[in-house]
Structure 1
Amino acid sequence: MTAGAGEPLHRHSSLGYQVNHLGRLLAQALRARTAPHGVVPGQFAQLLALYEQDGLTQNQLCERVRIDQSTMAHTLQRMQRDGLVERAADPADRRRVLITLTGRARELESDLVRAAGEVNAVVTRGLTEEEVTGFMLTLSRLIENLEADSAGGVQS
């Protein structure tokens, strides 16, 4: 149960604290498995989005991975420096720049997907498929609630 207004908030009963803690632990586990390939967790979401659909604009990537433009610009600079992505003018509209995966990034895809699968297997160890599915549904709803709140709307 979470604390209500006026009640003390404790780390172990705080949804935000627990989810943040889980996120940090997931990032550490992912980093341990992807660092040998020259990829850090901050680049992982962008790579997954580009594995799903290569040739996106920076703005499209921001929308898909839900990070702001300045963070994305910095991350893409590092990814370009690390040989993971390239920037090229959109042939359909030369004013737009498309972000595309390099051959190196494509070669890493199976290793990175395997690394993520290993982390997912560790974090869900001892849970049933139904428990994992229920947790994922709950997470999706929590994300929807916060996205609606940040957009100024409230879903019920």
Structure 2
Amino acid sequence: MTEPPSLKKEPIGRLISYIHRTQQKRLSRSLSEYGIGGGGQYSFLKGILMTPGTTQDQLTCNLKFDKATTARSVKQLEAAGYIERTTDPEDRRSHRLYPTPKALKFQPVLQAILDEGNAKLTRDLTDEEEDQLIALLQKLNLEE
């Protein structure tokens, strides 16, 4: 009896990086027609839709992006008409971020695009395998 060929064991970081880049390309293609670019802009828009009135600092912290990426994405989303900034009455140096009516109307479309992307990622997995993958990824220690 012959043994099955062994799978080449790829480094976990490389696999995760490849999956991330591939998913980002897919999402960028799907979102470009709506004026939402790369760099995770959809993550910022979703964060603002989920927590209207959040600040840039809160977004940076919650989404684990650097301040420059957050500032650039917020500026682009504002220019595209998806969000508006208002001065924080408690801290005049800070701004609160709110979704515009355009963003609220777009929210179900955004969610459908994100759901479709996740479905493509996991299309070859059973429900049990998908649950197991999520559990294993959540177990990884990503703290610095």
TM-score normalised to structure 1 length: 0.80
Aligned counterpart in structure 2 of residue 63 of structure 1, from 51, 61, 64:
61
Tell me the equivalent position of 1:130. 128
SS at match of 1:18: helix
Q: Identity rate of aligned residues, in percent?
A: 29
TM-score normalised to structure 2 length: 0.86
| Letter aligned with residue 30 of structure 1 | L
TM-superposed deviation, 1:123? 1.0
Gaps of 5+ in 2: 1-7
Tell me the equivalent position of 1:121. 119
Structure 1 runs, 4 residues or longer, greater than 6 Å off: none
Gaps of 5+ in 1: 1-10, 151-156
Higher helix share: 1
Aligned counterpart in structure 2 of residue 139 of structure 1, from 132, 137, 140:
137
Rounded Cα–Cα distance in structure 2 between residues aligned with 1:12 and 1:74: 38
Answer whether contact 1:12 1:18 (CA < 8 A) is retained.
no
Aligned counterpart in structure 1 of residue 37 of structure 2, from 15, 37, 40:
40
Number of residue pairs the alignment of both structures matches: 136
Q: Comparing 43-52 with 90-99, which one deviates more in the overlay? A: 90-99
Answer whether contact 2:45 2:77 (CA < 8 A) is retained.
no
Q: Comparing 56-65 with 42-51, which one deviates more in the overlay? A: 42-51
For the aligned residue pairs, the C-alpha RMSD in angstroms reads: 1.7
